[in-house]
Amino acid sequence: MLKIVSANVNGIRSAYKKGFLDYIAASGADIVCVQELKAQEADLAPEMKNPHGMYGHWHCAEKRGYSGVAVYSKRAPDRVQVGMGVEEFDREGRFVRCDFGNLSVISLYLPSGSSAEERQQAKFRFLDVFYPMLADLKAEGRDIVVCGDWNIAHQNIDLKNWKGNQKNSGFLPEEREWIGKVINDLGWTDIWRTLYPDHPGYTWWSNRGQAYAKDVGWRIDYQMVTPELAAKALNAHVYKDEKFSDHAPLVVEYDYGC
Which residues belong to the annotated binding site for Mg(2+)?
A: 8, 36, 149, 151, 246-247
Decide if 154 is catalytic. no
The DSSP element (H or E) to which 108 belongs, if any, is strand 103-109
Q: Which of 72, 109, 222, 256 is catalytic?
A: 109
Catalytic site includes residue 52: no
Q: Which of 57, 59, 154, 247 is labelled catalytic?
A: 247
* Cα radius of gyration rounded to whole Å, the chain: 17
Q: How far apart are alpha carbons 195 and 210 in whole angstroms?
A: 29
Q: 3-state DSSP call for residue 32? A: strand
Set 30, 143, 149, 221: catalytic member: 149
Neighbour tally for 131: CB within 10 Å: 15
Q: Residue 115's CB: how many other CB atoms inside 10 A? A: 10
CA atoms within 13 A on the CB side of 220: 26
Annotated binding residues, written as ranges, equal 8, 36, 149, 151, 246-247
Catalytic-residue membership of 247: yes
Q: Is residue 92 a contact partner of residue 110, using CB atoms and an 8 Å limit?
A: no
Active site residues: 109, 149, 247
